[in-house]
Structure 1
Amino acid sequence: MSASTCRVALLGVGCVGVVWLLGGWGGPRVTEVVSAGAFFVLGVSALAVSGVAARRSHGRRRIAMVLLAAGLAGWVIGDAVSNYQRLWLQDVLPFPSLADAGYLALPIAVGAAVLVLPIGHAGTFRTRLLLDGVIVAGSVFLVSWVVVLRRAADGERVGLLAEAAALAYPLLDVAVVTIIIVLLIVARPGRRATLALLLAGILLMAASNIVLFYLMVRNAYERGDALDAGWVASLVCFGLAATYNWGHSPADSDVLEAPSRLGTWLPYVPLVLAAVAGSVYLFDSTAAVVLVVAFGLVAAILSRQFLALNQNRQLATALAQQVSRDGLTGLLNRRRLVDRIDEALHANRRPSSLAVLSISVDHFRLVNDDLGRSVGDAVLIQIAERLTSCVPVADCVARLDGDEFAVFVEDLGTTPDAAARKVLEAFDSPFTVGDVDVTLRPSIGVGIASQAGDLDGEALLNRADTAMRIAKAERVSAIRICDTASASPSGDRPQQVVVDQPGPEGDLVPAQAIGLLRRAIEQDALTVVYQPQFSLPEHRITGVEALVRWPQPDGTVLLPDRFLPLARRHGLMSALGDVVVRRALNDAELWHRFGFDVPVAVNTPATSLTDAHFGSRLASTVEAHGLPASAFVVELTEDFALTDMDRVHTVLNLLRDKGIRVSIDDFGTAYSALNYLRDLPFDELKLDQTFISPLVREPRAAAIVEAVIALAHQLGVAVVAEGVEDADTAQRLTEYGCDTAQGYFFSPPLGFDQLLAFLAENRQLARDGVDLATPTH
């Protein structure tokens, strides 16, 4: 049954009952039966509708409907006891009785329901609204007592318990009416239908209860009177209110909001009238009632004022938070951070101990674009938590804008450079949102205060921001330091080298691949294939190059150009390099056992060359696999930036002294730094495919390749050509004196088993004296 059908049915039955009772058709006996039947039918119907509303609703709305259903159930039970006593037993129902307990349950339940019901703006002021209801109810009751009810009670005494029960009806009704009125004032327009119907139901019930009290103290009430029409109409209103709660409703905000002006002053209007009435009749014969109600009013007023003070403090705190805090992370905002820096600069006698770290999360846009802003917000919150853990004082961290943060270093017992490195380490582990791992890296600019009085907080923050943007643009160091009034960062401090030469961002896998790549490295899920290298002009295998691949769950395989930029950007190159070296050495150990004395070349991250122990550690690893040092070739890509040439020179010399050959890979791309050829000790120079592919059709390209080969030979190093795709290119390289070549003209990259078969076949062909000048593979 739909909500509209229920409304029509409730209105139909209610109208019949009201008209019948007001008309008094059929005499007292008939109207008594009609009254009892209408009460039962409408009470049960309203109870059923409330139950359906509770089942179809959620959250606070469901709780409100459960409370309303409980109140209606109490009313139906109470009325059933009354009818049984009157109609079945033909006995006069005593007052008060168990039926009154059921009747009184309804206004109590309605009051609780409206306090729970989501109406949009009440927020944390619900307790205050309850107290407002108590104050207004007590005030109205006190005035009603003095003006009307006191005289009715003086007409004929019916006993203390009976009077208390009779007074409970109007008192509860007035309290609930007041609460609903206050809630209606602050409710959103779409939430007022339920409150308005509940208010109508309580008003009708309150009016009927007041008249009932007046008639009962004079023994003038009979069941079936026109007065019963008021209760019939009130039951219809309760049922209609429940029909407006079938289904879902919008979520309500818990944001702290100030009550309306009317809601603030409403309780005091009847309170003034109650004070006047109470003072006039304080010494009346019924003064005990006045004193009790007055005492309750004083307690309610004091409680309300205490709540008002507490809520005002909360509002002031919330306002201060909005002014000085970032709404998402709770960190300081830029304005408050600048104030903190200014305070420290004026108070600190050693300004050089003050610094600001400006932090930008690189490529954070990918997270929002690929995973959604909700995930991005969750990651920002985690970043804020990690940055806060980096400093002893949490209020030294601020969110400046979007994916930019700042940390104020103020006499924290550490150098600004060390603080920056600690921040950098905070990004080492991925940020986890649900089942998604997101790995991010920051660019950090350090602004250091110099002389006292030469700058303010905004200038120091701008200095750090300038250094950060230089680090972000150069992509060489994750940390830049600026310690003068000029914008140029100092370059003589220890820097963390981060190689970053990514391709177009559109070619990268989605942002979640950062975490997946880290997991693949940790779980050794990457694979390695090997591309054979052939001597020219004999075309005999002289070595292989290890090439990494990343298998995907859907069966596809990502090539290095799709994920190596990601690994470079997020500091995974060293871990990835370790995986490839370990796999290549394991495989080389096996093919050497089969008698294939073929060295393997592995690309090595340039950052490894800044490690003084890299050479000895690699030599020990090769030896541990039972391989000669000559079985391993270290390939260094030319697209690197080396900041400590002395250490790099030492490491490369150590590798060569150990017998490990060194090759400069991808010559002809990126920096084309000829001074590397002059300064670095190496054994082999590899020409990139893009460098040698045009030589057949472009004379200028051919002349350059020929000159580079001749230059390498004059330096005493061998030359390897990569990406040879056709016989003409191979022939031309042979004519120029190139030593070795690799590419699809000779062989595609092969898996380990394919490589073993290929090596065996080529060895057999060589034994058989087959001319290998023209490749057969």
Structure 2
Amino acid sequence: MPTGRATVLIAAAGAAIAMWLISDWAPPAVLARVDSGLYVLAPCVAAGSAAWAARSSSGRQRLAWLCMLFGLIGWTIGAASVVRFEAFWSGHTLSTAQTWTFVLFPIGFGAAVLLFPTGLTRRYLGRFLLDATIVAGSFFLVFWLVVMDEVYRAAGPGEGLTQMLPAVYAAMEIAVVTLALLLVVRGPSDQRATLTLLTVGLVGVILSDGVYTYISVHGAYAHGSLVDTGWIAGMFLIAIAALSSRQPTAPAPKVRTESAWASVWLPGITAVLVVLAATTEPVADLTSRPVLVLGACLALAIFARQFLAISDNQRLLREAAAQALRDPLTGVGNYTLFNDRLTEAMLRRERDGVPVAVMVLDLNDFKLVNDSYGHPAGDRLLRLVGDRISEVVRPADTVARLGGDEFAVVMAGDIEDAQRIARRVAGAFGASFVVDGHELAIRPSAGFAFADADGCAVSTEALLKQADNAMYSAKWAGSGGLHVYTADMASVRVDRELFRTTGVPERSGSTVLTLLSELRRAVQRSELTLVYQPQFRLQTGDLVGFEALVRWPQPDGTVLMPGDFLPMVRRNGMMDEVTDLVLRKACVDAARWQAAGIHASVAVNLFAPLLAHATAPGRAAAALSASGLPPSSLTVEITEHMVLGDLEQTREVLRQLRERQIRVAIDDFGTGYSTLSYLRELPCDELKLDPEFIAPVLIDPTAAAVVRAVVGLAQVLGITTVAEGVENAHTAAWLRQHGCDIAQGYFYGRPITFDGVIDRFGPAPCVTPATAPASAKSN
């Protein structure tokens, strides 16, 4: 029979039996026999239901129902003994010493209640048991004053211990029902119905036991009275609880007992009951030895409970104070803790001469994660970043989140050790972060500043400002990484909030909103212009192509470079429009110079996250179609150190571009941490070596060996190598000697406009390398 139907049937039968017993319709002899049968049948039904519940459960819940079954079997044996004795020995009841199996019921019930998965943690178990002891002790003291004191006084010589057994049994039952009541009000909602039914059933049994004890004191007891209704109904309720219980599908939530209202009102109610019961009893009863012992034990329990409450309150205050200094999202310190630790370290420097260092980190292009994958993904990334930084610092160092995507580390001690830790923190971002299945290659811009033991006095604010300026120097340089503060950084005024909002420095007479409006109009009116840096084949000196570089001309005649406005483009969702504009103009210009006899391709930088969009190949094809430029004359450059979230989708987009005969190049190779994995993961035709990667080849044997290895690896893979930022003939000769294919830089020519391309490389092109100052930098 399904459990639902069995539950309904038991409930209906119990209600009908209760009405029949209460109505007194049957003759007393018949009523006594039926009542005696139900007295044994009801616990049998409850035991069978508990056995079914144990078979249908697992873990702690199964063990709880097995303990309940153990207690119900004890109660059933005791009930059968009572009925058998009354049937064969002229209606006399068993003595209390012969009904010991009833004691198994509260033992099994109590163990079951404690074993139910209610989420009670070990930390609160002692407090919970003390609550139960106080409430149970109070109820038992009331029960003693009202009922058991008469049993105790009526006991003859030598019968004191025997007559105390009902008191012990009653105490155990009261303790168990108290545990159940506390768990009902504190336990999880999915267990509350089962615990409530069990508690109500137990209360019914306990009430009948109390009335039975009182009747036994004042006269003989026989089955068939209203007392039996509580026993029978209680057992049926326990059976219904067992049949309606369900195995929880999730772990029970942790219970915080200090927040449970039962901790406040339940002990108070029991104290009131004790006082009321005491007012109805004579002084002699209140001064009897059992009452004095019970009262002393109850007072001791209350004292211990108050001691635990005070300890818990102090612990909660400490936890609240600690949480007030922690960032709730990442778990690292917040700005308050950072400021306190930095101030403390600076005071220690003044007192004991211990050096102090500060590292400030800002995540590059973090806004893209929020825009592409949502703010919850961004929050998860911040938690991973906080964990990764915490893993590589020393135990004495303080990691804090200053706000947004900015973190900081306070370090005290040897400056060289602090710099080593700072480099280790920056290097920890070499491995990608996996968020919701997306692999995110996030790099920080980091600044490092220190105050050594023998240096001049410096304030806490000044040291933080130095680290901040160094961080913005790294961000402004475009390469990220770790920058150590130097004095020349103090001369450059950086508006922190303006940079965080737009990514551009403050201009006289221009607010952020004004500058953003001007940029939007420039994009809409196609006012952004392109210049082209020539690229030459190293072995022959032939012109092979141009890299398109975007510029923003200003009304005052100045020109903003990409680093001046592209951060604002990215942060304000205009990258699609700018990309389409650059693609369109570059393809049109390349088609025009090819028509003029200049056989050179054009390379366009694409914002790497755009390559995760399936529309990228179509947009490039549309620009080619509108201009008439052959697809093989267009190279799409992806910046290696930018965020490449969905590598699988990016790989598919690049494959489609190459299927359309559009070439793919990985730009800025050597500045990021995942370059070799990108060579394995991403299909490409060209590898552009970053200027910082090739600059030291003439003076650093290690750097030269690394570049030779990369060029050799590219040759094996069939990938063309392009050296950027070549500034002198010696570097060009070294690259030519070691197999590099193409070069660009100031040694070969500065970026020029379209008209400059026609003038210089027209029908009679001049390919003689242009000289340039050794300090010039490639743009």
The TM-score with structure 1 as length reference comes to: 0.64
What SS class does the counterpart of residue 258 from structure 2 fall into? coil
Listed as ranges, the matches of 1:59-70 within 5 Å are: 67-70=67-70
Contact kept? 1:338, 1:461, Cα under 8 Å: no
Conservation of the 8 A alpha-carbon contact between 1:567 and 1:573: yes
Matched residues, number: 619
Structure 2 partner of 1:440: 442
Out of 365-374 and 603-612, give the one that drifted further.
Answer: 365-374
Name the SS for the 2:259 alignment partner. Answer: coil
Q: Once the two structures are superposed, what CA deviation does each residue of 1:544-572 show, in whole Å capped at 9, x if it has no partner?
A: xxxx9x99999997468879469777422
In the other structure, the counterpart of 1:33 is 33
CA-CA distance at 1:166 after TM superposition: 1.0
Match of 1:384 in 2: 386
- State the shift of 1:613 in Å: 1.9
- Cα offset for 1:323? 0.5
Aligned to 1:396: 398
How far off is 1:137 after superposition?
A: 1.9
Matched, 1:663 2:733: no
CA distance in 1, matches of 2:62, 2:704: 71
Tell me, in whole angstroms, the C-alpha distance in 1 between the residues paired with 2:134 and 2:703. Answer: 85
1:617 is aligned to: 705
Structure 1 residue 478 and structure 2 residue 481: aligned? yes
Q: Quote the residue 2:674 is aligned against.
A: 572
Pick the aligned partner of 2:610 from 493, 502, 507. Answer: 507
Conserved 8 A contact 1:96-1:162: yes
Choose from 748, 758, 779 the match for 1:677: 748
Cα distance between partner residues in 2 of 1:377 and 1:51: 48
Does residue 22 of the first structure (1) align with residue 107 of the second (2)? no
Amino acid at match of 1:400: L
Contact between 1:169 and 1:206, CA under 8 Å: does it hold in 2?
no
Q: 2:3·2:243 contact (CA, 8 Å) conserved in 1?
A: yes
Aligned to 2:324: 323
Alpha-carbon deviation of 1:201? 2.2
What is the aligned partner in structure 1 of residue 625 from structure 2? none
Cα offset, 1:248, TM superposition = 4.5
Check whether the contact 1:332–1:399 (CA below 8 A) recurs between aligned residues.
yes
SS at match of 2:331: coil
* CA offsets 1:124-181 (integer angstroms, 9 cap, x no match): 5443232122122223322332343211332344834532331133212322343444
**AA aligned opposite 1:571:** Y
**CA-CA distance at 1:614 after TM superposition:** 5.6
CA shift, 1:3, in A, is 6.3
One-letter amino acid matched to 2:264: T
Closer, same or farther in 2 for the Cα pair 1:661/1:173, shift >3 Å?
closer
Q: Name 1:142's counterpart in structure 2.
A: 141
With normalisation by structure 2, the TM-score equals 0.64
Q: Name 2:492's counterpart in structure 1.
A: 488
In structure 2, C-alpha distance between the alignment counterparts of 1:124 and 1:174, rounded to whole Å: 24
2:356–2:411 Cα contact (<8 Å) kept? yes
Is 1:636 equivalent to 2:722 in the alignment? Answer: yes
SS of equivalent to 2:416 = coil
| 1:340-379 aligned within 5 A | 340-349=341-350, 353-364=355-366
- Aligned pairs (5 A) from 1:203-602: 203-217=203-217, 220-242=220-242, 245-246=245-246, 248=248, 252-254=252-254, 256=256, 258-260=258-260, 263-264=263-264, 266-267=266-267, 270-271=270-271, 287-349=288-350, 353-364=355-366, 380-414=382-416, 417-431=419-433, 439-448=441-450, 455-457=459-461, 460-461=463-464, 463-482=466-485, 486=490, 488=492, 503-509=606-612, 558=655, 564=666, 570-573=672-675
Q: Give, in whole Å, the separation in 2 of the partners of 1:311 and 1:25.
A: 58
Closer, same or farther: CA 128–702 of 1 in aligned 2, 3 Å: closer
Structure 2 contact 332–400 (Cα < 8 Å) conserved: yes
**Aligned residue number for residue 608 of structure 1:** 693
Deviation at 1:405, TM superposition (A): 1.8
Alignment CA distance shift 1:316-1:552 (3 Å): closer
Q: What is the letter of the counterpart of residue 140 of structure 1? A: F
Q: Give the letter for the 2:747 counterpart.
A: Y
CA RMSD of aligned residues (A): 5.3
CA shift for structure 1 position 322: 1.6
Q: 1:312 to 1:78 in 2, by over 3 A?
A: same
SS in structure 2 opposite 1:330? Answer: coil
**Unpaired stretches in structure 2, ≥5 consecutive residues:** 495-562, 568-603, 614-630, 634-639, 641-646, 772-779
1:151 paired residue number: 150
Shift of 1:319: 0.7
Q: 1:387 to 1:622 in 2, by over 3 A?
A: closer
State how far apart, in whole Å, the 2-side matches of 1:246 and 1:551 are: 43
Aligned-partner Cα distance in 2 for 1:320–1:649: 64
CA contact (8 A) 1:68 1:110 kept: yes
Cα distance in structure 1, aligned partners of 2:260 and 2:467 = 46
Question: Are the aligned partners of 2:278 and 2:286 in contact in 1 as well (CA < 8 Å)?
Answer: no
Cα displacement (A) at 1:15: 1.7
The 1:707–1:134 alpha-carbon spacing in structure 2 relative to 1, beyond 3 Å, is same
- Flag the 1:252–1:325 CA change in 2: closer, same or farther, 3 A: farther
Aligned pairs for 1:90-101 (under 5 A) are 94-96=94-96, 100-101=100-101
What is the one-letter code of the residue matched to 2:743? I
Residue type of the partner of 1:398? A
Contact 2:119 2:253 in 1 (8 A): yes
Kindly indicate whether the alpha-carbon contact (under 8 Å) linking 2:666 and 2:688 is maintained by their aligned counterparts in 1. Answer: no
Distance change (3 Å), C-alpha of 1:577 and 1:117: closer
Asked whether 1:166 is paired with 2:159, we answer no
